[in-house]
Amino acid sequence: MNTRHLVDPQLTAMLDAFPVLNLSAQTLPQVREEMAQLQLAPPHESGNVTTAEHQLPGPAGAPEVRVLVTRPTQASQEALPALVWIHGGGYVLGSADQNQPLLEALAEELGCVTVSVDYRLAPETPHPGPVEDCYAALEWTHQKAGDLGIDADRIVIGGESAGGGLAAALALLARDRAKVPMRAQMLIYPMIDDRTCTNPDLNPYVGEFVWTNRDNAFGWASLLGHEPGRDGVSPYAAAARADDLAGLPPTFIGVGSLDLFLDENITYAQRLLRAGVPAELHIHPGAFHGYFGFEGIELGERLRREFVTALRNAFTR
């Protein structure tokens, strides 16, 4: 179905900024190269933050995990809250560097530390490799909090798209391992349910732009190592598969009305609330996948403001 008439007018012009992915095993190397060169946000050049690269121990038998740690240069002597951030890319694309303009701005605005995780990508590394890399980074952040100037009791996790999916899975994993406390999970149009790929009653008004159901099927098959939609998929791979959501941290979810993940995000928010988890859901009419933080675009800036407000509340709660 053609949904272009439903796109917010300010976002219509942005459609041409996104390449058509058409992901497959054959196109993936080229798409990765193209996406690495695509810059949708200008660099943050205030000079009021510093970023350091660290290599930390990975999961047992796995390589080290690279993280980028950003902090305000004029920070007080008090321990700062931290955001452990997971980048998007359908589980097959992206790197820790891609959200640095956003994270540097957040570190300056909120006086926090950000830790961006360069997890291994599928299909080269299927589940559980990516989420275990993220858990290693979360545990390292907690264990090294004193050295990093972080308040170990004020750690928030978050991510965008597949990064939001990994953050949601990470919240379940951290809850069940009961070693690292989390203040909140901040999920930007998270990719959390492989069953969307095979849903016979898929919402006809979502998924036309940026991230299609075809790309979604490739991303999930790459992560799972088999076709999506089967029985027995781990909730640590697809968080929507979890039977029990009780005990998860307060949750923020933001998604556009034209995003392929709209229905799975709405359902997840409802289930969180029914499990007694404080949750807020923001749906932005006319927004497609990938609009978070677009400068000069009201919907993107609105989501950023809502995100910042919720993150500030989590840090100070």
CB 191 within 8 A of CB 261: yes
* Residue 192 CA: distances (Å) to CA of 119, 196, 257, 268, 300: 17, 9, 17, 9, 21
d(CA 186, CA 188): 7
* Annotated catalytic residue, options 95, 116, 161, 222: 161
Residue 209 identity (one-letter amino acid): F
* Annotated catalytic residue, options 133, 194, 215, 259: 259
* Annotated catalytic residue, options 87, 127, 284, 289: 289
d(CA 203, CA 187): 21
Q: ∠ CA(312), CA(249), CA(109), 5° rounding?
A: 15
The label of the residue with tokens 């690279």 reads: 66
Could you tell me the sign of the dihedral formed by the alpha carbons of 228, 188, 184, 141, in that order? Answer: positive
* Radius of gyration for the chain, computed over Cα atoms and rounded to the nearest angstrom: 18
Structure token digits, residue 75: 């920070």
- The question of whether 259 is a catalytic residue gets the answer yes
* Residue 280 CA: distances (Å) to CA of 76, 206, 250, 265, 309: 31, 21, 8, 11, 12
Distance of CA 121 to the CA centre of its chain: 14
- The question of whether 142 is a catalytic residue gets the answer no
Catalytic residues: 161, 259, 289
